[in-house]
Amino acid sequence: MITTLDRLEWASSSIIEGAEKTDSSQPLRAEIRRAAQLAHDAEDHARARQHPKGKYTARERLDMLFDRDSFVEMGRFAGGNINAGVAGSAVVTGFGMIRGRKVGVYAQDFSVRGGTMGEAEGQKICHLLDMAMELKVPVVALIDSGGARIQEGVSALTQYGRIFSKTCEASGVIPQISLILGPCAGGAVYCPALTDMIVMTKDNSYMFVTGPDVVKAATGEQISMDELGGGYVHNATSGVAHYLGEDEADAIDYVRTVLAYLPDSSEEKAPVYPYSNGHAEEEAARRIGSIIPESDRQPYDVVDVIHCLVDYGEFLEVHELFAPSVVVGFACIKGQSVGIVANQPAVRAGILDVDASEKLARFVRLCDAFNLPVITLVDVPGYKPGSDQEHAGIIRRGAKVIYAYANASVPLITVILRKAFGGAYIVMGSKSMGADFNFAWPHSQIAVLGAAGAVNIIHRKELRKAQDNGQNVDEVRAQLIADYEKSTVNANLSLEKGEIDAMIDPAQTRETIERSLVLLQNKRGRRTHQRKHGNQPL
């Protein structure tokens, strides 16, 4: 594999050879040769530091991230001292191509002063972010750092503040993705936390505000780095990270794939790729109706439904390990890049809780920021009840879903697969929340409450009277449930009220979504009021 360093050395050698042929007194010849040797030695040093830990060097990671021979580095020796034998700063910045599209990058180099942040590093990163904003291209951050450089004191901390500010400025304008490929501690964790997505690996990835030693000194708790802030913890427990890579190569490949679904900036439409329907779509349409059981209490895997709806059955899931009662991710339908949101009946019946609400809301906001239509597949029994949820802020955190859908200006298409009850029905892309098209499968149930729960409340006196009279209460309850389902729970009432646009056969679902996307392709968001910004529940 030709590395970035090899290309640098080749370019330097070419300059030297050219200088020797044209003018033997060329004054920069020795300096250029020395710079090339410094670069070579620095990479040898980096490999010696990183490879024993099972980690790649910063430049090796860039070769994995970008298309072959496409990376152009900026300020290779900035922050260094060639005469003193210092090759450069602890961060590599530049631009390259990913699947033919320009992307900016900054990659921290742990082999140089532990990848710590100093004034030179901060200036390089801020300059990179400024250029990416000007060029309107995504930015990928490869994080592997010991944090702020203690020797530089407040100057190092100031650089983090500058990066925070510029990351916020770029938020919602250009996609920003962080790859955690080493330690990320202290105030440094807020750099990736402010970006759109965070990707970690099973080994060597760590994020924490205070490390294990500080935790032990402050609280007496003994905890390992993995348990405190490892990749699995932040993917499955805290929800800080969005994907857990098997290794660095897998994590980098995931980032490349995510960027294929996103536009270069908020000023562009979501990507559209050539695609023609064929036999595979016909087979998927026949199969989709058999996935969902007749009983509304029997679980199924909604990802199987998604695979039947999207191109090539390819679905890139986001936040897979966190709040698994909802599923979110990217896909294409007839070549159109879209975001998919769905309840997962295989996990706690697809219920909404505090974590699922935040996961869902953040993803809808991401899609809206970068012009991806949102397809919502609904099979939800409601919000999770209990004091633990109330005390954890289900009111405040559940309201984030409402805010995300109500403020979305992208095409919103909702399909009710089986049931949609109570407040969860309203917030999951209902017509009243601003969805453009709402469809329902036959036998779907839409109501304030499920039939069994509603009958127990509405007919409690009647059921008590039946018991007192010696009647079979179960039979009475079953009849009342059947009557309630026939009159109230079925989707006909929603059809009559215009809350559902059409009842569709499962086999028609993909075709219906395709047609809806075509109709909505020129949808433009409009602002009804002038304001600085809304006050979203946080």
> pLDDT tens across 460-491, in order?
778 788 788 888 878 877 887 777 766 666 66
Domains of the chain are 29-261 (3.90.226.10), 279-450+489-520 (3.90.226.10)
d(C-alpha 78, C-alpha 63), whole Å: 21
Q: Which of 94, 169, 80, 153 is nearest to 125 (CA)?
A: 94
Q: What is the pTM of this model?
A: 0.89
- DSSP-based helix, strand, coil % in the chain, nearest 5: 45, 20, 35
Q: 437-440 and 412-421: which strand pairing?
A: parallel
Please determine, for residue 9, whether its predicted confidence score (pLDDT) is greater than 70: no
pLDDT digits (tens, 9 = 90+) for 167-201: 999 999 999 999 999 999 988 999 999 999 999 99
Q: What number is the average pLDDT over the span 346-369?
A: 97
Active-site residue identified among 211, 423, 452, 453 = 423
pLDDT value of residue 28? 52
Active-site residue identified among 424, 435, 451, 491 = 424
CA dihedral 274, 417, 397, 140 (to 10 degrees): -20
pLDDT digits (tens, 9 = 90+) for 250-272: 999 999 999 999 999 999 999 99
- Higher per-residue confidence, 22 vs 527: 527
Average pLDDT, the chain: 89
- Is 284 among the residues known to form the active site? no
Active-site residue identified among 186, 245, 382, 429 = 186
Q: H/E element holding 106?
A: strand 101-108
d(C-alpha 508, C-alpha 501), whole Å: 14
- 61-86 burial, b for 16+ CB within 10 Å, e for fewer? bbbebbeeebbebebbbebbebeeee
d(C-alpha 390, C-alpha 387), whole Å: 5
d(C-alpha 249, C-alpha 61), whole Å: 8
Centroid of chain to Cα 155: 32
- Both tokens of 73, joined, read 């580095």
pLDDT value of residue 37? 64
Edge to edge, the sheet with strand 139-143 lists 72-74, 91-98, 101-108, 139-143, 176-180, 197-201, 243-245
Specify the 3-state DSSP secondary structure of 249: helix
d(C-alpha 516, C-alpha 413), whole Å: 8
d(C-alpha 87, C-alpha 34), whole Å: 10
- Is 186 among the residues known to form the active site? yes
- Is 423 among the residues known to form the active site? yes
- Is 424 among the residues known to form the active site? yes
Strands (E), 144-228: 176-180, 183-185, 197-201, 206-208
d(C-alpha 407, C-alpha 281), whole Å: 33
Percent of the chain with pLDDT over 70: 88
DSSP line for 19-30: HHHH-TT-TTHH
- Higher per-residue confidence, 9 vs 122: 122
Cβ 162 vs Cβ 122: under 8 Å: yes
d(C-alpha 70, C-alpha 282), whole Å: 40
Please determine, for residue 83, whether its predicted confidence score (pLDDT) is greater than 80: no
Active-site residue identified among 187, 211, 313, 453 = 187
Using left for φ > 0, alpha for ψ between -120 and 50, and beta otherwise, residue 373 falls in beta
d(C-alpha 20, C-alpha 15), whole Å: 9
Q: What number is the average pLDDT over the span 345-371?
A: 97
Please determine, for residue 22, whether its predicted confidence score (pLDDT) is greater than 50: no
pLDDT value of residue 353? 97
d(C-alpha 494, C-alpha 498), whole Å: 6
Percent of the chain with pLDDT over 90: 68
